[in-house]
Structure 1
């Protein structure tokens, strides 16, 4: 299998990820923070070490400002539902994933929250003046994808953060497509909350992720329950990270995430980005020479994550993905990618699109195999 669906979940994983998970299961499978015996202490240490590694990667001063979650969706829900109050106004971009849009629309119905979607151009880029001109007196939060999961477009988070700070507004960044393959410094970029996955470019297992919260922000928990410490208190504790981590944590998964971050830190984010960008350029160059194929998103030479999205005249995206899988053993993602807003911006809301997404283990040979397959598929549809 040539795996080109890394924007959904990265594969394969570094060998150290599996080894770390198996080690936990075999040697210290106790509950972290739920006992003083050796195995429980070792499990707690694993969580802290992974927290510390994530803090180093994202420029976070205090590792305890990072709470572990099951995925980016959970992190975004904790941030949005925990921060936004009744009557607030929230800004977000017109390329957001449903993990942002659906929680916001729920709050619009249930808490009388106002939402403004700042539109982008067809490549997913936003005009900063459009952000500033729709700010209201009750605007409390801006939610922004660091990069579109459909287009690969990288948004100017630092400039959006400057606008937010100027108006006393908090900024929540969805780093689902950038954590591990794009440089992120929460303090340097002015990010107040950062939601990130463990299973994509951080190379950890599914069921892992996290949320960074600025020390000045207090969120209402999404889940209430046991935290190990402060058990006699009827209320959820305020201490971090316990406040947002009710219940037993996924220690094997978090151990695997720590090993994945180790790999990223060793290879460096910059080198990973350059490799994936090079592969996107190689693939775009090959696809644009095929009659009937339209590439959507940033043009060649422009900054983007490792995503190349396209459609072909005369064939549905699902047909193409099916043929690539069955006839060529190439895995891609077709359809609407949980982001109808971005498809509206790109002009593909009626057709969907095919998304190929690279990871740090892909090669030029993988990209060339997709080009060669698309040439044959195109010939099949024009006979």
Structure 2
């Protein structure tokens, strides 16, 4: 930044850099097809519609979705989760979630508890974030409508066995909502094979797209109440929101330029494959963990080295406030990480870091091994100066 090199280890918040094809497609869209998709029959509007539909098709291919029109585009994962939760639940319904949830699941659930009286059960994991799926099934009651889970913790990197939970949900006739904010584009996802009824995903993280993009897959046998009502470009003579998909869930002009970029990000993921991306990121993660754990006073959160996890390394340094650590890494070493509670107080309660928060470093697919070495050396130097005055 400001012509100074930056080591970017905040990919769990937003991935960076993006493949060049992403921003090139966005510029091309602004130049050539920046009209309203679905709102006109002229050439630019038709071209814009094709851009949006091509993005749907690529996402459907990535997540093994049969019909691209079962994907509703949203602003982000939070928007998608609110559409799923508020669009499905009714007074008296029971929901099962976990102690790993981001506030994007927890807060909508808690709001509906206050407003319409739903009941929520949070299943605790162990300190590393590992979930006993038997506890999930044991919590199901006659009123359980939904299981809402993160695919992997944005604090601990722990991967939740979504496929096993999906099998339970199908057997017990309960709907499954998956928050893939940290897994879309990084872990293989097959909505049918994993029993996922609704999949909320971001465009700006593992899918390599721009901010302001995301979506919700909705199973074809599932109907939700729209989160918003308004113009769709279809059934305009009717006073009520149309029932055809995806129009029912996409009121208003979409972020076409953002979706043009997202389309290229998804295409890049398809070419590289999520498994290859995960393998590389996990190796970088283990190297970072190995270096950090050699530093006196460092405590790592989440699964141990060698245990399956995503590229999230949260840690504490004895005697050093996480916010101070993040500030020094940025100002003195040009390293971007995130400190605090990461919008998951439940996760911090699980990890035992609720009183302090933590520093989170999240490598990405474009992170270099030399940058991992620099991060380790920087934490070590900060540790020496702050704790030992050297």
Using structure 2 for the length normalisation, give the TM-score. Answer: 0.98
1:22 is the counterpart of 2:27: yes
Q: Secondary structure at the match of 1:220?
A: coil
**Deviations for 1:217-263, whole angstroms, at most 9, x for unmatched residues?**
00000010000010001110000000000000000000000010111
2:244 aligns with one of 210, 214, 239: 239
1:58 is the counterpart of 2:63: yes
Q: Secondary structure at the match of 2:299?
A: strand
Shift of 1:267: 1.1
Shift of 1:132: 1.4
2:37 corresponds in structure 1 to 32
1:342 corresponds in structure 2 to 347
Q: Secondary structure at the match of 1:196?
A: strand
1:301 corresponds in structure 2 to 306
1:96 is the counterpart of 2:137: no
1:159 is the counterpart of 2:164: yes
1:311 is the counterpart of 2:316: yes
1:202 is the counterpart of 2:207: yes
Partner Cα separation in structure 2 for residue 355 and residue 364 of structure 1: 18
1:278 corresponds in structure 2 to 283
Shift of 1:171: 0.2
1:379 is the counterpart of 2:389: no
1:252 corresponds in structure 2 to 257
Partner Cα separation in structure 2 for residue 269 and residue 136 of structure 1: 36
Shift of 1:109: 0.4
**Deviations for 1:128-185, whole angstroms, at most 9, x for unmatched residues?**
1211111111000000100000000000001011111111100000000000010000
1:69 is the counterpart of 2:69: no
Shift of 1:382: 1.8
Shift of 1:96: 0.1
Partner Cα separation in structure 2 for residue 292 and residue 282 of structure 1: 18
1:133 corresponds in structure 2 to 138
2:7 aligns with one of 2, 10, 17: 2
1:230 aligns with one of 213, 230, 235: 235
Of residues 213-222 and 127-136 in structure 1, the stretch that sits farther from structure 2 once superposed is 127-136
1:84 is the counterpart of 2:89: yes
The alignment of Structure 1 onto Structure 2 pairs a total of residues equal to: 383
Q: Secondary structure at the match of 1:130?
A: helix
Partner Cα separation in structure 2 for residue 272 and residue 5 of structure 1: 16
2:337 aligns with one of 332, 342, 355: 332
**Deviations for 1:19-49, whole angstroms, at most 9, x for unmatched residues?**
1000111011100000000000000000000
Q: Secondary structure at the match of 2:304?
A: coil
Q: Secondary structure at the match of 1:188?
A: coil
Using structure 1 for the length normalisation, give the TM-score. Answer: 0.99
Q: Secondary structure at the match of 2:105?
A: helix
Partner Cα separation in structure 2 for residue 226 and residue 346 of structure 1: 45
1:116 aligns with one of 121, 137, 159: 121
Gap runs ≥5 in structure 1: none
Partner Cα separation in structure 2 for residue 137 and residue 269 of structure 1: 37
Partner Cα separation in structure 2 for residue 65 and residue 150 of structure 1: 30
| Root mean square deviation of aligned Cα | 0.5
1:213 aligns with one of 218, 239, 244: 218
Q: Secondary structure at the match of 1:371?
A: helix
